[in-house]
Amino acid sequence: MSWIALVGPELEENLSLRYLAAALATEGWRAEILPFNRPRDLATIVRTIAEADEPPLVVGISVAFQWRAVEMLAVVMGLREAGYRGHITAGGHFATFAAEDLLADFTELDSVCRHESEQTIVELVDALVAGRAIDTIAGVVTRDTAGTVVAGPMRHPPDLATLAHPDRRGLPKQCFGHALAPLVSSRGCYADCSFCCIASWHEQTLPGKRYRVRPPEDVADEMIALKRERGVEIFIFHDDNFFVPSKKKNLERFHALADALEERDIGPFGIVVKARPNDADLEVFRVLRDRLHALRSYVGIETDADQGLVTLQRRLASKQNHAAIEVLRELDMFGCFNMLIFDPDTTLPSLETNVEFMANAADFPFNFCRTELYAGTPLLRRMLAEKRTSGDWLHYDYRLRTPEVQRVFEMSIDAFTPRNFGPGALHNNIGGWRLELETCRLFHAEVFRPAWLERMKALHRCVGLDTVEGLRAIIEHVRSGKPSDDAAFVADMAPRLRALEHDVTQRWRVLRAEMDAAVAATRHDPRSLGHDMTPLQNAVPVDETAREVLHYV
Ligand code: B12
Ligand code: SF4
């Protein structure tokens, strides 16, 4: 039997590819997943496909992340150079919104499957095998015989209740010795922030409807299967937003899921979710904590400045950001957030407001960055209309509104890149560390010491307030208006930032070793772990790249 190669990031089990693999398997097709996590994977992928005894019928490449599009296109070019003659298709968020540009500029690529593609990829493969035309398949964009880009109709998205559960081959990752798995209980989000493509995604395929949810029983069945078959105890919900815009419905849904899990006798488990600040209601979060054992709730603060809230179209008020933090504190829950402190309209006062927010919420881990212009977003459309972009459809760049804010941005990026981005970045890692601590707190309550949590919070404050201090110093430097060398200012500050990062990392290692030792001591007595909580011998530990996943998912 011939096969289909699916290429994409696998920092964890990649649900995009694994839903497609499951859909293909249901129709009798074998799909192999080829992870593309680092530049060195490129050569392996090209070799595996081009030198296969039987080359795949179709290669499908996931281009969800715009910033990785060039690397993904390198696979396409590499395959053609290596002589692969089969059909190459692409899908995912960026490919969907940039389908026409991709096909116009890269003749090596044969088609793009837009939006959710479980059905589209099956129909594409069937048509190719049967030698039928593909240009009328819903969801497919391709070229006609004259080379003109042609798009089939939009594909109506699948009924989530009918989808095959994602393919789960491979060993699960772990967090503090407990296996984890990503999953989704819904697709879409009720909001329509200007920097995000999720609302456009649904608007194009289901006008007027922003999200769809799975029946709680179906979600519970998937979780139970993951637990029984793979030992998964931590469920990372990748829903764009785990919440719907109704307190009553959230309560009903979370209770229904908890009931379904209890009926199925799930045993110990924890979850990770994402929320908007206005979703953080005390009663709802109490259910999340007590019945669904939320280990972490990412609360999308993004900005606390009135200007930012308008530019980013957050449709909420600053007081709701503050209230969300209070809910987390009141329930002693772990939350984390990211701040888009730089956006196209940022002013020095709005920057100061956001830095103030960070200072007030420094007992939680956070990160900050600039708002990027992603394909399919209202913000990109606005910036193009205002002629404020540079670059092209692969990557649009922009300058901030005033020279002062642009200076603060450039200095901040220079000073904070090692702390904010990439493997080893403390702002990312510390969120992963806290998740390990919360995992210990939930699953090993018998040895967990409250003092560990206080030490962890002290580390959050230490990092958060140091970041605040650095940002304030940069803003003050720019505000002072004195002519001076920005690079020298950053060069002077950077060693202090790096020293603190080193110190905090060491303090975490000591804390982690204490937790490890306490838990290891209980493992001499298997009964103390509970009937289904024996350490997983085979699960894969979380590596540094995956810590990034643990922080942001
Ligand atoms: C999980 C996730 C991650 C994980 C990635 C895990 C992995 N895959 O290894 C982590 C946490 C690492 C992550 C990080 C980031 N992410 Co993210 N992430 C998501 C999230 C929330 C869910 C993805 C998912 O599993 N979806 C469920 C599956 C079933 O749906 P799907 O991905 O849409 O897949 C369907 C279709 O797209 C299509 N499809 C997808 N691939 C392919 C391939 C082929 C061949 C075909 C035919 C079809 C197809 O068919 C699939 C099945 O229906 C999405 C939002 C979303 N709704 O998808 C954002 C999203 C993809 N992330 C986004 C961003 C911006 C980021 C970050 C840049 C954030 C940051 N500032 O750090 C980083 C960078 C990641 C990196 N290092 O490369 C943006 C991408 C925007 C863009 N166009 O670039 C999204 C869309 C979120 C958003 N609201 O804007 N992310
Ligand atoms: S709340 Fe999050 S997922 Fe929803 S539209 Fe805004 S950024 Fe996108």
188-224 pLDDT per residue, tens: 999 999 999 999 999 999 999 999 999 999 999 999 9
**How far is it, in rounded angstroms, from Cα 275 to Cα 14?**
21
**How far is it, in rounded angstroms, from Cα 277 to Cα 256?**
23
Diameter of the chain measured on Cα atoms: 72
**How far is it, in rounded angstroms, from Cα 129 to Cα 249?**
45
Tally DSSP H helices, then E strands, for the chain: 19, 18
**How far is it, in rounded angstroms, from Cα 251 to Cα 247?**
6
374-417 pLDDT per residue, tens: 999 999 999 999 999 999 999 999 999 999 999 999 999 999 99
Copy the structure tokens of residue 437.
């601590």
Residue 507 CA: distances (Å) to CA of 107, 233, 453: 53, 28, 13
Q: Looking at residues 31-48, what average pLDDT do you find?
A: 97
Pocket of ligand 2 (CB under 6 A): 189, 191-193, 196, 198-199, 240-241, 276, 300
Give the rounded distance of the alpha carbon of 174 from its chain centre. 17
**How far is it, in rounded angstroms, from Cα 372 to Cα 344?**
9
pLDDT of residue 524: 66
53-106 pLDDT per residue, tens: 999 999 999 999 999 999 999 999 999 999 999 999 999 999 999 999 999 999
**How far is it, in rounded angstroms, from Cα 314 to Cα 354?**
15
Which residue matches tokens 């430097």?
477
Q: How are beta strands 173-175 and 149-151 bridged, if at all?
A: unpaired
Q: What percent of the chain has pLDDT over 90?
A: 93
Ligand closest to CA 7: 1
Q: Which amino acid is at 348?
A: L
The answer on pLDDT for 463 being more than 90 is: yes
The answer on pLDDT for 539 being more than 50 is: no
pTM over 0.75: yes
**How far is it, in rounded angstroms, from Cα 168 to Cα 440?**
25
Query: What is residue 371's DSSP assignment?
Result: P
Residue whose CA lies nearest to ligand 2 atom number 6: 193
Q: Looking at residues 353-364, what average pLDDT do you find?
A: 98
pLDDT of residue 311: 98
Please report the beta strands in 16-100, taking only residues with DSSP state E, as ranges in sequence order: 30-35, 58-62, 87-91
Mutate to test the pocket of ligand 1, among 3, 15, 202, 394 (most ligand atoms within 8 A of CB): 15
pLDDT of residue 69: 97
Q: Specify which residues 368 forms β-bridges with.
A: 339
Q: Which amino acid is at 496?
A: R
Pocket of ligand 1 (CB under 6 A): 9-12, 14-16, 19-20, 60-62, 64-66, 68, 89-94, 113, 116-118, 121, 184, 196-198, 238, 240, 374-375, 548-549, 552-553
262-315 pLDDT per residue, tens: 999 999 999 999 999 999 999 999 999 999 999 999 999 999 999 999 999 999
pLDDT tier, 525 (very low <50, low <70, confident <90, very high otherwise): low
Q: Would you say 528 and 447 are in contact if contact means Cβ atoms under 8 Å apart? A: no
